[in-house]
Structure 1
Amino acid sequence: MKIDVLVAEIGSTTTVVNAFDKVNSPCPVFAGQGQAPTSVGEGDVNIGLHNAIDNLSFNLKTDSIEYGELIATSSAAGGLRMTVHGLVYDMTVRAAKEAALGAGANIKQVTSGKLRKSDLNKLMQINPNIILVAGGVDYGERETALYNAELIANLNLDIPVIYAGNVENQDDVKDLFKNSRSELYIVENVYPKIDELNVEPTRKVIQDVFEKHIVHAPGMQRVREMVTGSIIPTPGAVMVASKLLYDDIGDLMTLDVGGATTDVHSVTEGNEEVSRILISPEPLAKRTVEGDLGVYVNMHNVVDMVGKEKLEEELSLSPEELQNLIDNHKPIPKTDLEKAFVEKLTLHAAVTAVKRHAGIFRYLYGSGGRTTVAEGKDLTRVKYIIGTGGALTRLPHRVDIMREIPLSNKGHELLPNKDVEILVDNDYIMASLGILSKEYPQAALRLLKNSLNIK
């Protein structure tokens, strides 16, 4: 059997391969899916990739598959690990974080101001895939970013460095890295003026650098040789798909409750009235990742947040029965009780993650009386909440879970309204379509709308 494009999603535990055919036609086809355990532990992720393709062949009832192209997303070996170093935490540091998170990064260290020796020691222990240095608006403060760049250059690490700070420093930063093993990338300032974000150029370069240097997981270099097109971080691919869909249907939010983390992507400019009282700017496309909210690896965190007594009451279980459920928790729930338990965890993870992602109204009191300001991302204009990932595409009450998000508003939170429409990535292919859209945007959009049942 011949297929136009295979997209591999290489995860930390599972590798999924999705097959797409007729991608150059008005009616592209999602042909099928295969999966296998990711073989990082065996020293070569190629093994898991080949096994996933074999599983796809089995599912399609064919002896072998020929394909025109193979592209991939990856979150194996910790995904895209980054450190971010800026000047003022609420300004250039936050802008740099927005750029890194939107590109799909897993941020392991954030510093503001001049780096200390302890910061450098921690950076070397982390051994990130990419280091991002920012600081200073254009033609503003110069010293901190240059100081930090010089310290990082002197470490002489074999790690790519992106400079996205004050434009006046660019030539000096190039000189600092002239003899360093770190490959330097100069990008437009992520915070060129006060209250102005410019994160998209840095996001693009982060993904390009990741693709060029993705050799850190065992066997990833061989996967790079096998892949004919792009490789980008899996969360970054979900963001690309969300932005593609936003251009077609308008303001939206994508939610992925996973085993270890919960990711929220929003693409919306928000309400004009709220924008006028925002105390700091927010990007059009924003991603947050909650590392403590997961329904398998971090299940105990969520259980503690919900409370065992509440879970016992809602599931009609004795303390012993609940403890037995917790002790025997599996990655994929099978029984009705296991599914009900995971749904309770998923509901809490989803609502909590969106509340952390969303902004709020604050009240300031002064001599003139009370003033209302807004802080954070405004989701009030979001028209669609999209569920992707295992939990929100497979659990029986996935739509009801997402409907609880606007209902949880305490009145001061900038959450979606109650009339928001719920969509489900039924084929579980959103990340694959994000990277497919780089070469085949029309086919990717058509397939995405099919998966979401958008007519």
Structure 2
Amino acid sequence: MKIDVLVAEIGSTTTVVNAFSGIHTDNPLFIGQGQSPTTVLDGDVTIGLKGAVEDLKSNLNIAEVEYDDFLASSSAAGGLKMTVHGLVYDMTAKAAKEAALGAGAIIHLVTAGRLRRSDIKKIQDIKPNIILIAGGLDFGERDTALYNAEEIAALNLGIPVIYAGNIENHEDIKEIFKDYNSKLYIVDNVYPKVDLLNVEPCRKVIQNAFEEHIVHAPGMTKVRSMVNGPIIPTPGAVMEAAKLLKEDIGDLIVIDVGGATTDVHSVTKDSDEIARILLSPEPEAKRTVEGDLGVYVNMKNVLSRIGEEKLQSELGFDIKPIIENYKPIPKTDEEKRFVEKLTLEAVLTAVKRHAGTVRRLYGESGRKSVAEGKDLTQVKYIIGTGGALTRLPGRADIMEKISESGKGTELFPTKEAKILVDNHYIMASLGVLSKKYPQAALKLLKASLEI
């Protein structure tokens, strides 16, 4: 069987390989999937990759797999760990954080202002894959970013450093890093003017730096012996797919409930009404990741949010045996109903944290309304991906409750938003595929969503 492209999703525990054919035609097809345990801890991720390919061969009942391209996304080896350092938290530090999250990073530290000794110690302990320095509007304040660059360069960590601050600092930043063992990337300012975000150039550089350096991560050193195309962070791949889809069908939100985290990706513009009263700008493409909301690793966190007695009363059966023998994949009807309740709580909480709100302020001139955060009221589609929202029987019902739960002051999607499910669970893989074959990726994505 001729396979045009294999796309691997190298997770922290499982590696999945998806096979696609007809990539160069008007009828690209998703033809099969294989999976195997990830082998980062064995010092060689290709062991798990080869295992997933063997499983794919078994599922397709073929002796050999021939392909032209092998692409990948990865959240293994700790994913893309970053620290972000700006000038003012609500401005440049926030803008830099948005750029990093949208690229698929896991942010371990955000600082504003001059780095303190405690901050330097945290950076050393975190051992980030990439450091992002921002700060200062273009032709504005210069010294904080330069000071932070001096401190970070002196650590000589040998990792990529991205500078995305005041344009006037470019020559000085080059001088600071020229004698140190860090690859320096200089990119457009993420916050060049007041109320103007410019995060997309920085996001692209973050993904390029990740791809260039991830092959040196533990267990990833041999990955280029198999993967001959792009390698991007898995959450960043989902964002790439979301942005591609938005251009075709309109404003949308994508929710991925996993075992440890819940990610929300929105690609939507503010309504005219909200844009007029927004206190600070939001990116069109925004990602939030909730590290306490997962339905396996963080099951007890979500359960405590609901309340054990309340959940048992709602379900009408004893949930203690399920809690005591909790499995990553529910099998029985009772286990599935239990996980659906956890998933609903994770979804509603994550969207609430992602969405903005309208507040009423009272002053000498009377009452006025202001908006903070991301406006989701223009969203036309709510899309579910990830294990829980693609496999649970009640997945559509869970997502329909999003618009029902928004209070008047919360900028939630409206009841007109349609529910879509990534039925083949390939959205991340198609985000990777879109880097090289955008038209084929879009057609495959719409087929998985059944639109």
Output the CA distance in 2 between the equivalents of 1:90 and 1:16. Answer: 39
Deviations 1:157-199 (A, max 9, x none): 1111000000001100100001011111000000000110000
The one-letter code of the counterpart of 1:348 is E
1:449 matched residue in structure 2:
446
> One-letter code of the match for 2:127?
N
Shift of the 229–260 alpha-carbon distance from structure 1 to 2, 3 Å rule, reads: same
Separation in structure 1 between the aligned mates of residue 37 and residue 50 of structure 2, nearest angstrom: 11
> Could you tell me whether the CA contact under 8 Å between 2:162 and 2:185 is conserved in 1?
yes
Which structure 2 residues correspond to residues 146-165 of structure 1 after superposition, within 5 A?
146-165=146-165
Question: Is 1:16–1:52's contact at 8 Å kept on the other side of the alignment?
Answer: yes
- Does the 8 Å contact 1:15/1:49 carry over to 2? yes
How far apart are 1:35 and its partner, in Å?
Answer: 0.5
- The answer for the alignment partner of 2:185 in structure 1 is 185
Where does residue 280 of structure 1 map in the other structure?
A: 280
Q: Distance in 1 between matches of 2:438 and 2:298?
A: 35
Contact 1:360 1:414 in 2 (8 A): yes
Aligned twin of 2:377: 380
The correspondence of residues 358-369 of structure 1 with structure 2, limited to 5 A, is 358-369=355-366
Could you tell me which amino acid in structure 2 is paired with residue 380 of structure 1?
Answer: T
Instruction: Give, in whole Å, the separation in 1 of the partners of 2:269 and 2:219.
Output: 41
Determine whether 1:342 maps to 2:339: yes
SS of residue paired to 1:431: helix
TM-score, with normalisation over the residues of structure 2?
0.99
State the match for 2:309 in structure 1: 309
C-alpha distance in 1 between matches for 2:42 and 2:165: 41
2:363 aligned with 1:354, yes or no? no
1:92 aligns with 2:92: yes
User: Superposed, which structure 2 residues align to 1:293-442 within 5 Å?
Assistant: 293-317=293-317, 321-442=318-439
**Which deviates more from structure 2 when the two are superposed, residues 179-188 or residues 308-317?**
308-317
Quote the sequence identity (%).
Answer: 69
Q: Is the 8 A contact 1:35 1:51 kept in 2?
A: yes
Q: Give the whole-Å Cα distance in 2 for the aligned partners of 1:165 and 1:224.
A: 33
Aligned twin of 1:10: 10
Tell me the secondary structure at the aligned position of residue 412 of structure 2: coil
**Secondary structure, counterpart of 1:221 in structure 2:** coil
3-state secondary structure, aligned to 2:241: helix
How many positions carry a matched residue from both structures? 451
Residue 216 of structure 1 and its aligned partner are, at CA, apart by: 4.7
- Which residue of structure 1 aligns with residue 21 of structure 2? 21
CA contact (8 A) 2:274 2:371 kept: yes
d(CA) in 1 for partners of 2:225, 2:219: 10
Q: Distance in 2 between matches of 1:29 and 1:182?
A: 42
What SS class does the counterpart of residue 402 from structure 1 fall into? helix
Alignment match, 1:207: 207
Q: Which residue of 1 aligns with 2:225?
A: 225
User: Does the 8 A contact of 1:76 with 1:217 survive in 2?
Assistant: no
Question: 2:135 maps to which residue?
Answer: 135
The alignment's TM-score, normalised by the length of structure 1, stands at: 0.98
**Contact 1:4–1:22 under 8 Å retained in 2:** yes
- Any idea what the Cα deviations from partners look like across 1:102-122, whole Å, max 9, x if unmatched? 000000011010001110111
> How many angstroms apart in 2 are the aligned matches of 1:74 and 1:346?
24
Q: Is the 8 A contact 2:262 2:294 kept in 1?
A: yes
Deviation at 1:325, TM superposition (A): 1.3
Alpha-carbon distance in structure 2 between the residues aligned to 1:240 and 1:36: 25
Structure 2 match to 1:237: 237
Describe the superposition over 1:346-393 as per-residue Cα deviations: whole angstroms up to 9, x where unpaired.
000001000100000011110111100110000000000000000000
Q: Is the 8 A contact 2:384 2:420 kept in 1?
A: yes
Between the aligned partners of 2:11 and 2:290, the Cα distance in structure 1 is 18
Q: SS of 1:448's equivalent?
A: helix
Question: Does the Cα contact within 8 Å between 1:45 and 1:217 map onto a contact in 2?
Answer: no
For residue 324 of structure 1, report the CA deviation from its aligned partner.
2.1
**CA RMSD between the two structures:** 0.8
Q: What stretches of structure 1 of length at least 5 have no aligned partner?
A: none
Once the two structures are TM-superposed, the CA of residue 42 in structure 1 deviates from its matched residue by 2.0
Letter in 1 for 2:296: Y
